[in-house]
C-alpha cells in the first residue's frame, strides 16, 4: 500500500471531541470491529479517522437495548435498512436475534439489529461485510 493511502489514526478522545461522539460509543465501535484502531506502547488507543467520520447516523448499540423488542417495520426505518429481505437474511444467518415471530410479524432484539446495522452501513463502504455473532439473554 502506498504511504499516501495509509489511514490517519487519531487519539480516541480527540475523535470523540472532533466528531461529537460519546467516548463509550467509539470504544464499543472498536470492540465490535466497526472502526479500526491500534493500541500505543503507552496504552492509548488511536482510531482510524476515516472510519469515525463515516459512522452512520443511526442509533449505536447500547446495553439498554439488549432484550428490547423492535418490530421489523420500525427497524427498517430507524436503522435505515433497505429491505425486509436484508433482515430476513440476517435472521437466517443468526446475525440478529428474534424475540417473537408469527405469520405476519417478526420482533427482534433491538441490540442485535443496531449492531448489524452499524456493521452493514460502515462495512459496505469497504471491501466486504463481516458480521459478528451476537448472543443475548432475555
> To the nearest 10°, the Cα dihedral for 86, 73, 105, 99?
80
DSSP structure class, residue 59: P
CB-CB neighbours of 101 under 10 Å: 12
Strand 9-11: give its sheet, edge to edge: 9-11, 45-48, 37-39
- Entry pTM: 0.68
16-64: pLDDT as tens digits = 999 888 888 888 888 878 889 999 999 999 999 998 988 888 888 888 9
Q: What is the 3-state secondary structure (H, E, C) of 6-37?
A: CCCEEEHHHHHHHCCCCHHHHHHHHHCCCCCE
Q: Which three cell numbers stand for residue 57?
A: 447516523
In the predicted structure, residue 13 carries a pLDDT above the cut 90: yes
Task: Tell me how far apart the terminal alpha carbons of the chain are, to the nearest angstrom.
Answer: 45
Is the predicted pLDDT of residue 106 greater than 80, yes or no?
yes
Amino acid at each position: 500500500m502506498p504511504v499516501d493511502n495509509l489511514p490517519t489514526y487519531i487519539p480516541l478522545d480527540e475523535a470523540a471531541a472532533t466528531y461529537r461522539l460519546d467516548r463509550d460509543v467509539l470504544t464499543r465501535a472498536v470492540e465490535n470491529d466497526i472502526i479500526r484502531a491500534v493500541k500505543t506502547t503507552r496504552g492509548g488507543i488511536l482510531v482510524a479517522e476515516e472510519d469515525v467520520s463515516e459512522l452512520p447516523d443511526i442509533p449505536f448499540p447500547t446495553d439498554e437495548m439488549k432484550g428490547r423488542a423492535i418490530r421489523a417495520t420500525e427497524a427498517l426505518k430507524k436503522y435505515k435498512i433497505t429491505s425486509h429481505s436484508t433482515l430476513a437474511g440476517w435472521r437466517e444467518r443468526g446475525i440478529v436475534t428474534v424475540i417473537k415471530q408469527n405469520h405476519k410479524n417478526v420482533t427482534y432484539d433491538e441490540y442485535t439489529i443496531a449492531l448489524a446495522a452499524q456493521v452493514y452501513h460502515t462495512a459496505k463502504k469497504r471491501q466486504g461485510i463481516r458480521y459478528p455473532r451476537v448472543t443475548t439473554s432475555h
